[in-house]
Homo-oligomer: A and B are copies of this chain.
Amino acid sequence: MNPGEMIKDILAKRDSIQNVFFVACGGSLVEFYPPKYFMDAESKHCGAFLYSGKEFVCAAPASLGENSLVLLCSHSGKTPEVLEAAGLAKERGAVVITYAGVAGTPVNQAGDYHIVYGDRTEEGSHYGDSPVLLSLRLMAELLAVTEDYPYLDKVMDGISKIDTVIYNAMDQVSERAKIWGKACERENMMYILGSGPAFGNVYGFAICSMMEMQWQHAAYIHSAEYFHGPFEVTDKNTAYVVLESNGPARCMDERAIRFLKRYGAKYEVVDAKELGADIIDEKVVDYFTPLMFYKVMCVYREELAKLRNHPLSTRRYMGKVAY
């Protein structure tokens, strides 16, 4: 069942979908940031909410019910918090769609619909089959039916182009990433800035790529919030990475960059506009740039890992000790 068929099937069983909950942990939670952002920006009637798995269970939303759609994602297919969240969602009668990176896991059995991601979509896109874009398409299909969302075709067109965008962007940063890696090799602390659709990437790069994979102290800061506290730590010795969006959020990132140019010295700007995301239609491009940022930042982290001789797969606790 493709995302369009899935939405039709759901709407045949429910008279309406009142709200959507995106629930996952860590890196998988990051996958859900853009579709949540899409819903906030595009949906007039369907509220969207993003929860870390255990928080969803502990602070169970009162509005979770039979007219809720719950999307759950676990790369391993075994994350206990995601399975708990599925239990709560089913108990409340919600429609549950689960994503897992592999087949035959408990998460695959935990919902009404399940998706194993990582293959190739009907549109021939490899990255179109990532949780972030599968979810974006699901949401666009939903709103196309329920609210006459007019740009589903542009979303589909974006999916057909995303591989090209990503490969070009990754190529473009390969030299800069090496320079950045050398400059940051011995940094003790790194601030990651961004806003709008890219804020999920900001979070993900800090907590997964830096803290988890490099044991690197890091903080994620929203570009607009930067001016309401965090900018006071800025000086010529503090390292920043700014993900500069190319849609309406860009002005927030530009403001932070202007400040860093004046009062900082060690900052790397990763600019969506420069990286060529704009071959995707401007009405929807904002929802695609996060995946481009993710893959581009994978090039950056790889360079740092090589220089430090600290492979990205190195762990001391995750999956190694009890917790």
Contacts and interface: CB of A to CB of B under 8 A. Distances in A.
B49 A62 contact: no
Contact of A229 (B208, B224, B323): B208
A81 interface: yes
B59 A196 contact: yes
A211 B224 contact: no
Interface residues of A, number: 70
A53 B232 contact: no
B47 A63 contact: yes
Contacts of A317: 231-232, 234, 259, 263
Interface in A34-68: 37, 40-45, 47, 49, 52-55, 58-63, 65
Interface of A: 19, 25-27, 29, 37, 40-45, 47, 49, 52-55, 58-63, 65, 81, 188-189, 195-197, 206-208, 211-213, 215-222, 224-225, 227-234, 238, 248-249, 251-252, 255, 258-259, 263, 315-318, 321, 323
Q: Which of A25, A61, A81, A233 has the most CB of B within 10 A?
A: A233
A41 B43 CA distance: 22
Contacts of A206: 219
Contact of A55 (B45, B216, B218, B222): B222
Contact of A248 (B42, B59, B315): B59
Contacts of A231: 317-318, 323
Contacts of A222: 52, 55
B61 A40 contact: yes
A47 B44 contact: no
